Amino acid sequence: MASLERTAYPKFKRLISERELREFFTPSAEEVAWAREHTHDRPDRVLALLVMLKSAARLGRVPKLWEIPEVVVAHVRDQAGLAAETVPEADSERSEERYRSAVRERLELRHKPGEARAVAEAAMRAAAPVKAHTADLVNVALEELVRQKERLELPAFSTLDRMASRIRSEVEAAQCEAIVSRMSDAALERVAGMLEVAEGEYQSLFAWIKQPARRATWSRFRAHAERMERVEGLGDAVFWVGKTPPAKVAALAEQARVLSVGEMKDIAEPRRTALTVCLLAQVQATVRDETVVMLSKRMSRHLKRAQEELLEIEKRQKETTEQLLATFRDVLTALRGSGEAAPGGWEGEASLDDLLALKNARAAIETAGGFEAQLAELEALDAYRGSNYTALVERFFKPDRPTMFKTARRLSFTATSTDRSVLDALDHVLAHQHLTRPLVADTHPTRKDENGKQVRLDLSFAPKMWLKTVYSREQPGMLVRRHLEAMVFACLVEELRCGDVAVIGADDYGDWTRMLLPWEQCEPKLAGFCEQAGLPGTASEFTVRLRERLTTIAETVDAGYPDNKDLTIDPITGVPSLAVRRAGERTASAEKLEQALSERLPARSVLEHLARAAHWTDWWKRPGPRSGSEPKLKEPLPRYVTTAFVYGSGLGPAQAVRRMRGSVAAHELGAIAKRHFTIPVLNRCGADVVNAHAGLDLTAAWGDGSVAAVDGTMMDTVIDNLLAETSIRYGGYGGIAHHLVSDTYVALFSRFIPCGVWEAVYLIDALLANESEVRPDTVHADTQGQSFPVFGLAHLLGIDLLPRIRNFQDLTFHRPDPQARYQHIDALFSTDPRTCIDWQLIESGWNDLMQVGLSVQEGTVSSVTLLRRLNNHSHKNQIYRVFLEVGRAVRTIVLLRYLSDPQLREQITRATNKAEAYNGYTKWLHFGGDGYLRSRDPELQEKAVKFLDLMANSIIFSTTVDMTDTLRQMAAQGREVNPDDIAALSPHRRDNVLRFGDYDTTTLHIPPGTYDAAFTPHQS
């Protein structure tokens, strides 16, 4: 059975704010007159009818009188001008039913229980194959009931809950039976054996496959290759799950992931086997992705070490070069003045002086080490000429060679375009893996042309310096085998990164082009998508509008240049520069207000702030068992609040319980965090707090929520995990906590990302994954928040991406037309005609743009997956070329806006400063871990970041409520409060947050009382 709190079923909140009472439960004069008319002006009946009317308008159903909270009754009674002792009553059940009918008639609610149940059941059965939880099915039914043209009164929650439980059980049982039916007896035996501990082992296979990947060292890489072989040897789980929807497979896998072997054995068949198979299918895909990541990191390490070795060689070769020059000088000195060589050679008709000169030259060479040594040194110098480090890669590649070949044979690669030259080269090196001779032919081992001759390998995918290394100088048409192997794996890794090569059966490295919506499915949705994003609906109109925007803003900036006192373009170099604008100092009145506020704000512990936010927003009703059933905890709110504090602060259960007076056990908190909190649940919990914070009047002084900024902050982790890397930008070893921060100071979304990835890749995903009602359409970022594909995708989705651009002097401004010239700002634009925007390419690629934009919006492909593949190494990708061209146009527009609009630059600075301030605030709140994440599991690392965000947002919300109350009291006492001074305040306060001491959890269940979101006292 589902918990009422975990569904969207309309219900009364436990704590209803003053604003909600005023907005939703205040009867109008006309409604009061209507109630008096229908009740013969009997006060108790008038009140009963009014509270039923206002409640039904809010809930979509007419509640019983006993369901309506006293706070609603009191508010309606006060607003209707009834006596304080009046209570809502009806003479009889018949009278109460008559009142219900009157309310339904006024609100045009149709009371058709049978029809409502039929609509709900149809919606549930349609969604049941992909929805794993009863609560989700209830929500689907509610959406369908609300969508009906003629409003149907909602059935009772118990009716929907029983219906959803029955349908879910029926559909899921059929899916489990279908999975088991596709398995042979041997496969069933292998899967059942995963729950047993084999002889000589210390854990079961079921527990072993759930372990995260380790650091990409030589030994870990070899062990991971063996792990992949063992996991895939358990069977083809993808075949077994068949056509079971991916969402249902993922949900069943998540249920299995948190269960122990003992708990799995308690589950009846065939569900137990189905859960294990779904987990195995997920693990097999993850292991393939992890293998590609390890392969990539190992090759990157080899290339880096080769480059470092080249630097050392160049240092050593400096002395060799000087010695060769000295020898050459001696030879030239010896030969100077001698005659020219005769046609027959020096020894033929040379004079005595010539022979003596030759003897001296030979002596100089012998003194320097001899001909062979000198030639060898020349060859060595020539090999690394032009910083060519590729000849050195093979030496570092050699220890990983067996594992590289093993993984290449185990993984199934496919080209995402018609060009499969890298895969042909891979087949070539795999075919010659066991050879010992140094050279191999540059022909394909099996492919022949129409004349029966073997086809030469197409190595055009490789950079020139690699080709110089792999081709033998002594034997044309032959390749140096060891260098060829290193080159092929280096290029394979690069093509995997940019998506030109995919791994069959992987998730992150799967074929992203197959994830795009088919064009036939895009066409019906195209008009709505373009309207929502503010884009024209045809290719020509899209191109014309973008071209007009670029042309117009360039002409506008050129015309306004004489009046632009901030922008200066050097007349000689053409380099632009912007005058530095000093930030305005805080006024004296703002300082006084800040001081007065600090003196009056109540100091609360972190736990108290968290508990207040939980009571007011009801975020604690979101978590629960992964099966979707109601939590079995005796007091869920205190337990969930304590868990959020323990993991958000970084203390961890073991350390935190020592300061909690024995009120909770460490293992209990660990189990709750693991089993009741998922990443989607934490996202929704955070959204509840953000929505409540947005409803406070005080936040309007800081922003309206339409602007946000993204920024990352370094968080150190344990060394032995696959995600962690050394960050050159931030320093340290770990990952990046990437936050999307609203202009009202709260984080809308966060995630934990690797250091080596360009942060702009995650910008769009943060906006799309934001589940709160605060929906920014303008996003700022620092320099890491820009790239051509990101600009292009943001434009398609109607997002105004405006990063802070520090290095604008080094960026290319693209002309809208090769003939376009400007009087004042022409020096900004490139003179190379190849840098002009290719409008024909944009128009011809419009279908690709729309297909990608719709696919991202519909969620069939992640924007992260897409943008990681659309990079400057995507030479074979036509979609990348179109996005590159759109991105060039959009970035040039943004650059011109940035240079010409000082208010825009100030807005960017304010927004990015708020994001940076939020990062500093979360570091301060992560006092238990000091910015260090102890887990090496990527899921637990991201959970830790989201727990920290939930804690930080809750404290910000609670603090803003306290600030509102305090400022309201100050205003009531006659103190003048200037709106500009309020705007200078920040809820990232530390003076009212008590981080240390004993943490009392015994009072967390006590509600704090309602809060008033209004800044000024409400006047009746």
What are the angstrom distances between the C-alpha of 954 and each of 545, 766, 823, 948?
Answer: 44, 20, 54, 10
pLDDT value at 195 more than 80 = yes
Looking at residue 993, what DSSP letter applies? E
Q: How far apart are CA 139 and CA 152, in angstroms?
A: 15
DSSP state, 15? S
Place of tokens 């009087």: 823
What crossing angle do the helices spanning 218-232 and 401-410 adopt, rounded to 10°?
Answer: 20
* Beta bridge pairs of residue 707: 778
Report the run of H or E that residue 502 belongs to, with start and end: strand 501-503
Average the pLDDT over 312-323 and give the result. 72
Q: Please report which confidence band the pLDDT of residue 353 belongs to, taking 50, 70 and 90 as the band edges.
A: low
Condensed to tens digits (0 to 9), the pLDDT of residues 532-545 reads 889 998 999 999 99
Phi, psi dihedral angles at 732 (to 5 degrees)? 90, 180
User: Residue 582 pLDDT more than 90?
Assistant: no
pLDDT tens readout for residues 774-823? 999 999 988 776 788 899 999 999 999 999 887 888 888 999 999 899 99
Nearest one of 21, 8, 96, 125 to 60, comparing CA atoms: 8
What percentage of the chain reaches a pLDDT higher than 90? 45
* Cα–Cα nearest to 45, from 100, 103, 87: 87
Which SS3 state, helix, strand or coil, does residue 142 take? helix
Give the residue, 360 or 964, on which the prediction is more confident.
964
DSSP, collapsed to helix, strand or coil, labels residue 334 as helix
Q: At what angle do helices 271-335 and 246-257 cross, to 10 degrees?
A: 90
Neighbour tally for 177: CB within 10 Å = 14
pLDDT range class, residue 898, cuts 50, 70, 90: very high
Residue 327: pLDDT over 90 = no
What residues contact 942, with CB distance under 8 A and at least 6 apart? Answer: 679, 751, 752
Phi then psi dihedrals of residue 752, to 5 deg: -110, 120
Alpha-carbon gap, residue 833 to 895, rounded angstroms: 19
Is residue 585 predicted with pLDDT exceeding 80?
no
The residue with tokens 């209507």 is: 34
pLDDT tens-digit readout, 38-61 = 888 888 888 998 999 999 888 888
Answer whether residue 950 shows pLDDT above 80: yes
Please tell me the distance from the alpha carbon of residue 683 to that of residue 945, in angstroms, as a whole number.
11
Q: Tell me the three state secondary structure of residue 493.
A: helix
Query: Is pLDDT at 344 greater than 50 in this prediction?
Result: no
Average pLDDT rounded to a whole number, residues 304-324: 79
Range in 361-365, 500-504, 566-570 with the lowest mean pLDDT: 361-365
Amino acid at the residue 334: A
Condensed to tens digits (0 to 9), the pLDDT of residues 57-94 reads 888 888 888 889 899 999 999 998 888 888 888 878 88
Helix or strand or coil: residue 745? coil
Greater pLDDT, 631 or 1019: 631
Q: Compute the mean pLDDT over every residue in the chain, rounded to the nearest whole number.
A: 87
Cα–Cα distance, 865 to 416 (Å, whole number): 14
pLDDT of residue 586: 81
pLDDT band, residue 379 (cuts 50/70/90): low
Q: Which of 247, 236, 226, 225 is nearest to 281 (CA)?
A: 236
Helix (H) or strand (E) holding 891: helix 878-900
Averaged pLDDT, 25-43: 88
Is 70 exceeded by the pLDDT of residue 321? no
pLDDT tens digits for range 682-714: 999 999 999 999 989 899 999 999 999 999 888
Query: What is the structure's pLDDT at 543?
Result: 95
Q: Give 381's pLDDT tier (boundaries 50, 70, 90).
A: low
The predicted-structure confidence for 396-407, as pLDDT tens digits, reads as follows: 999 999 999 999
Q: Minimum mean pLDDT among 453-457, 535-539, 604-608: which range?
A: 453-457
Q: For residue range 716-767, list pLDDT tens digits in order.
A: 887 888 777 776 666 677 788 889 999 999 999 999 888 767 778 888 889 9
Range scoring the smallest mean pLDDT among 447-456, 477-486, 538-547: 447-456
Rg (CA), the chain: 35
Structure tokens at 361: 């030259």
pLDDT number for residue 729: 66
| Omega of the bond leading into 10 within 30 degrees of 0 (cis) | no
Q: Are strands 800-801 and 778-780 parallel, antiparallel or unpaired?
A: parallel
Listed as own residue / partner, the contacts of 569-573 with beta carbons closer than 8 Å and 24 or more positions apart are 569/824, 569/825, 569/827, 569/828, 570/827, 571/827
Q: Assess contact for 743 and 708: CB atoms under 8 A.
A: yes
Beta-bridged to residue 714, according to DSSP, are 736
pLDDT for the residue numbered 453: 78
Looking at residue 619, the DSSP 8-state letter turns out to be: G
Calculate the dihedral angle through the C-alpha atoms of 149, 152, 157, 162, rounding to the nearest 10 degrees.
-80
Is a pLDDT exceeding 50 seen at residue 343? no
The band of 834, judged by pLDDT with boundaries at 50, 70 and 90, is confident
Task: List the Cα angle 971/975/977 in 5-degree steps.
Answer: 70
What is the maximum span of the chain, computed from C-alpha positions, in angstroms? Answer: 141
Q: What local confidence, expressed as pLDDT, does residue 455 receive?
A: 81
pLDDT at 346: 45
Extract long-range pairs of 188-197: CB within 8 Å, 24+ residues apart.
188/273, 190/234, 190/235, 191/234, 191/235, 191/273, 191/276, 191/277, 191/280, 192/273, 194/234, 194/276, 194/280, 195/261, 195/264, 195/265, 195/276
d(CA 647, CA 928): 9
- State the pTM of this model: 0.85
